[in-house]
Structure 1
Amino acid sequence: MEAASQGLEFCLAEEAHFEQVMSISGDVYGGIDYMPVRYRGWIREPDRRVVLAKKEGRVIALVSVNVVDDGHTAVVEGLRVAPAERGKGVAGLIQRHCLELTKAQFPELELRRCTRSRPLGPEVFVKFQLVCKQEILALCFEAAEILPKLEAAVEQMKASGAGWEEPVVLGADDVRRVFLSPGVVRDVLPGETIVQDWAPYKASRSNLETLLKRDLVWMADSKDEPSVLSLCQAPYSIPMGAGWQRLNIDIFGKQLPGARSQFLAQLRGAIGTLPGPVYCLLYMEPSLWQQMHSFCQRALGLSNDRDFGGQYVLETGI
């Protein structure tokens, strides 16, 4: 009734809606939005529902719900509301509709998770509990210019004898074993959660099978008793400008040498063939942020480009 009173109608997103969705997303995340490359894939995922809100026939909002954790958790992602419609309650209405639709099709849903940035007020924690928090280091650079600095930093750390920990690339079987190890889940993963580019997953076999289908590079400091793990997603185009690529590196663990080494290894592997500008988001344990930032300034000449205010994974019941 409330949606009808505002003249809203809801529908599932389709390929034909792409341009309208892009038109309401132009100011999102300051040019580093993932939606242009995710939308078409999202609407084809069998366990995801992407819902649009229309007003007078035009798309004014979007949200998606991805069902993970063996059908027990709804991850809310990609909320968009047209600038002229913000502050009118549209976000709450479309999320409620999408969750109700998803719950009807996946009756075992018990939890809702979402990921937010910036410091959160006390009103948020009336509804949600905090699963984990990661800090974000945002780095902008030209790939060709940063590669020699990367090589020099790695060589200097190796020569020092104390700063470099050789990362191990994990194959699929290694990933299954390492990420399901009780010690790793308890002591390395933040909130016992794998956070991959803002999407939170519990450490379960079904979730790992989903992630293993993606174009990710998995690393660890050891296959046997790892204290630092990392994931790196293949770079993708963003609306910031011609040639710009976004790169996401998620690091789990609290040990600086392993985190620093894996960051350099992941970055070197990801940008080796890129021709132009890169916007890299590095997610990490909060206690590492200042040291990692200082290292990037000193070794690579890079400073934090913007303050996201952290990455918060939140959870509540459905």
Structure 2
Amino acid sequence: MSSSESIGCGANKQGMSDLDKIEVRRVSEADYDDVMSIRSAIYCGYDYLPFSYRSLITHSHNEGYAAVINGKFAAFCFVSKVDGGETAVSRASRVNKQYEGFGVYKALTLIIEKRLFSDGTVLNDAVVYSEGNQKMVIATSRGEYTLLMKRTFIVYKVDCEKMTVLSQGTHPTKHTRILNAVDLETAFKSSKVCSTLFPEERIMCNQVPYRLKGPNIPLIVSEVSLIVGTTVPEWSLVTCGVYYRSENGHTYTLEVYGNCDFIKEHLVLHFQHALQCCHKEVDIIFFCNENEASKIDIEMKELQFRNVDFNSQQCLLLKRELNKYSYESN
């Protein structure tokens, strides 16, 4: 595929005609404003793309594509090539409200797949969706996709004063520390660690499911703000933290793997890192296995951190957007 390619989608509908010129183009850092103009107030205000776009687009394993209609950006999708280039992960997808229901995004993804799979390097197509995406649920029930992972979420608002008190007043044991690429390599080589912490044989970081492979380690480290591990007894807990600014304000996501008995020690190190970035209230979003959510909630309440208070409709929307499922095409 060249830098741009014409596509076809549903015409003769209100708002579109056969005369509309539609093309797909590879985007660059210079297209930031056009990509951001596609849509705002999505993912319940926790969209990470405005903050992370420029850093993501500069990594060689990431590619961004946009559907452009009559010169206007109408849809967008990031693709991250992981697992040594064998898996393409779609992320940060969006389509302009004006063009919803016209097949624009579907046409965009079809051309992306045509390009990615053309040389035989990419073998798998993975995607992370919320539980409210009925199209993905239906596709999975038909056997078109395989469910890889399910992650539930808990959200807390934490002010910097409390973060400071905890980070200064609590000292992690020597067995809980910041991990580097060598540590991850050691963990991924241990079948016992992998089966205990990562039974799905994947680790999700910043909305990307990675196989436990060496080539993924530099990508994970570059995506994640901070990786913390408790290594005694025998790698009991790993957390991956990412800071970004969203429409809701300061946001820090924590992917949690393992026994949450050590979560307080991990929070100390993550809070110390977060305080370098923000000096106001921050939303902490935990992504974890469902059976660990209650342990995290107990610990956070003991630390007097409060749940985000949503009304019923907001809570429903948030749940549909943040309860994540990771799929891979068959």
**Shorter-normalised TM range:** 0.7 to 0.9
Q: What residue number does 1:161 align with? A: none
From 147, 152, 177, the equivalent of 1:135 is 152
> 1:139-190: per-residue Cα shift (whole Å, max 9, x none)?
22322244325666x58xx9xxxxx995233233222101332122222115
CA contact (8 A) 1:179 1:185 kept: yes
Q: Conserved in 2, the CA contact under 8 Å of 1:170 and 1:218? A: yes
Per-residue CA deviation, residues 17-69 of structure 1 (Å, 9 max, x unaligned), is: 22121122312123321111222233333222211101111001001221111
Looking at structure 2, the residues matched to 223 and 171 of structure 1 have their Cα atoms a distance apart, in angstroms, of 16
Structure 1 CA distance for aligned equivalents of residues 159 and 196 of structure 2 = 36
> Once the 2 structures are TM-superposed, how far is the Cα of residue 223 of structure 1 from its aligned partner?
5.8
Q: Does 1:63 align with 2:72?
A: no
Which residue matches 1:193?
A: 202
| AA in 2 matched with 1:123 | I
Task: Identify the match of residue 251 of structure 1 among 256, 261, 284.
Answer: 256
Residues 47-196 of structure 1 mapped to structure 2, 5 A cutoff: 47-104=61-118, 106-119=119-132, 121=134, 122-125=137-140, 126=142, 127-148=144-165, 154=170, 167-196=176-205
* 2:175–2:232 contact (8 Å) kept in structure 1: no
Any idea what the Cα deviations from partners look like across 1:69-101, whole Å, max 9, x if unmatched? 112111111111011212222221111111211
Return the alpha-carbon distance in structure 2 between the equivalents of residues 50 and 37 of structure 1.
15
Q: Distance in 2 between matches of 1:219 and 1:251?
A: 10
What value does the CA root-mean-square deviation take over the aligned residues?
2.6
SS in 1 for 2:40: coil
Show the 5 A alignment for 1:290-309.
290-305=294-309, 306=315, 307-309=318-320
Cα distance change on mapping 1:42 and 1:214 into 2, 3 Å? closer
Is the contact between residue 128 and residue 315 of structure 1 (CA under 8 Å) also seen in structure 2?
A: yes
State the distance in 2 between where 1:303 and 1:204 align: 35
Report deviation, 1:219.
2.0
* Separation in structure 1 between the aligned mates of residue 66 and residue 292 of structure 2, nearest angstrom: 39
Does the Cα contact within 8 Å between 2:181 and 2:217 map onto a contact in 1? no
The verdict on how the C-alpha distance between 1:150 and 1:302 changes in structure 2, with shifts beyond 3 A counting, is: farther
**How far, CA to CA, are the matches of 2:272 and 2:266 in structure 1?**
10
Does the residue aligned with 2:39 lie in a helix, a strand or coil? coil
The answer to whether the 8 A contact 1:136-1:284 is kept is: yes
Question: Does the Cα contact within 8 Å between 2:160 and 2:280 map onto a contact in 1?
Answer: yes
Other-structure match for 2:53: 39
Deviations 1:179-214 (A, max 9, x none): 332122222115110100211110111001222344
Q: Find out whether 1:271 has 2:279 as its counterpart.
A: no
Q: Distance in 1 between matches of 2:175 and 2:75?
A: 46
Change (3 A) 1:196 1:280: same
Question: Hey, what does 1:3 align to over in structure 2?
Answer: 8
Judge conservation of contact 2:7–2:23 (CA < 8 Å) in 1: no
Q: Which runs of 5+ in 2 are unaligned?
A: 1-5, 12-19, 310-314
Deviations 1:233-277 (A, max 9, x none): 2x222233xxx3221211112x2303x234423432223333112
Count of aligned positions: 302
Percent same amino acid among aligned pairs?
Answer: 18
Q: Does 1:239 align with 2:270?
A: no
Query: Structure 1: any 5+ residue segments left out of the alignment?
Result: 159-163
